[in-house]
């Protein structure tokens, strides 16, 4: 049978995804929020605590969505064995390249059509490195001087760190020397009492 290897591979992948999703109970999505947080009620929970849990759950949902999308595509490709159109591009009805089906048995479109489908998305993604999508502060790009941002951003961080690099002038004048000496005092009053103490000491 034509595409028998692809069919077996698709069935195998479908079973794997279904197994993973059952094992992890859809990545915890089906396990209620209270169950996950170990709280009997969310009534007395601080919103910030809840936000962390919510974030975790949204991540779970994201993972689950990814698996769901993949499962959907695999099922769809398998359905084309039933209707006799497996290996035919859904978009242009031309045969999908054999090498493509070998590399990706769940392919629903030929290479040219897939490019056309992905093009608008790629255009959006090309504007910034794709990694930035998964980065969060403090690792995400926060240099917003071109925008109208007033918070401590990435460039401010750099400037603060760069200022640490200023080498202290060892040939400092007496004034600067005194200034440095006085750095240990909490306020001026402490300095006065200390000077008085020193003044009354026997030579
Ligand atoms: Zn096509």
Percent helix, strand, coil in the chain, to 5, is 60, 0, 40
Helix, strand, or coil here: 170? coil
Note the pLDDT of residue 183.
Answer: 47
Question: Which residues have a beta carbon within 5 Å of ligand 1, which is an ion?
Answer: 89, 91-92, 110, 113
Q: Which phi and psi angles does 95 have, rounded to 5°?
A: -60, 135
Q: Which helix (H) or strand (E) holds 125?
A: helix 111-125
Summarize pLDDT for 112-123 with one digit per residue, the tens.
Answer: 999 999 888 777
Q: Which helix (H) or strand (E) holds 55?
A: helix 47-82
Q: Distance from the CA of 9 to the center of ligand 1, in angstroms?
A: 22
Q: How far is CA 12 from CA 4, 18, 167, in A?
A: 12, 10, 64
Note the pLDDT of residue 181.
Answer: 46
In tens digits, the chain (203 residues) has pLDDT values of 689 999 999 999 999 988 887 777 655 555 555 555 555 555 566 666 666 666 666 666 666 778 889 999 999 999 999 999 999 999 999 999 999 999 999 999 999 999 999 888 777 767 767 677 777 766 666 555 555 555 666 677 777 777 776 665 555 555 554 544 444 555 566 666 667 777 778 76
CB neighbours of residue 42 within 10 Å: 13
Say if residues 201 and 194 touch (Cβ distance below 8 Å): no
H helix intervals, 24-46: 33-37
Note the pLDDT of residue 107.
Answer: 97
Note the pLDDT of residue 122.
Answer: 73
Q: Distance from the CA of 155 to the center of ligand 1, in angstroms?
A: 47
Q: Distance from the CA of 76 to the center of ligand 1, in angstroms?
A: 16
Q: Distance from the CA of 66 to the center of ligand 1, in angstroms?
A: 24
Say if residues 107 and 96 touch (Cβ distance below 8 Å): yes
Domains of the chain, earliest start first: 4-28+57-125 (1.20.120.910)
Q: Distance from the CA of 111 to the center of ligand 1, in angstroms?
A: 7
Q: Distance from the CA of 14 to the center of ligand 1, in angstroms?
A: 24
């Amino acid at each position: 049978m034509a595409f028998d290897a692809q069919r077996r591979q698709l069935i195998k992948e479908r079973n794997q995804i279904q197994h993973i999703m059952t094992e992890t109970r859809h990545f915890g999505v089906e396990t209620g929020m209270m169950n996950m947080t170990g709280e009997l009620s969310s009534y007395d929970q601080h919103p910030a605590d809840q936000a962390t849990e919510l974030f975790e759950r949204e991540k779970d949902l994201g993972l689950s969505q990814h698996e769901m999308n993949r499962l959907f595509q695999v099922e769809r490709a398998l359905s084309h064995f039933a209707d006799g159109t497996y290996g035919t591009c859904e978009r242009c009805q031309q045969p999908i390249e054999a090498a493509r089906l070998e590399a990706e048995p769940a392919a629903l479109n030929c290479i040219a059509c897939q490019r056309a489908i992905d093009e608008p998305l790629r255009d959006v993604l090309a504007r910034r490195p794709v990694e930035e999508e998964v980065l969060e502060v403090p690792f995400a790009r926060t240099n917003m001087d071109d925008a109208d941002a007033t918070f401590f951003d990435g460039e401010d961080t750099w400037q603060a760190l760069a200022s640490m690099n200023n080498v202290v002038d060892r040939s400092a004048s007496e004034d600067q020397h005194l200034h440095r000496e006085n750095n240990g005092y909490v306020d001026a009053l402490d300095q006065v009492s200390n000077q008085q103490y020193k003044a009354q000491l026997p030579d």
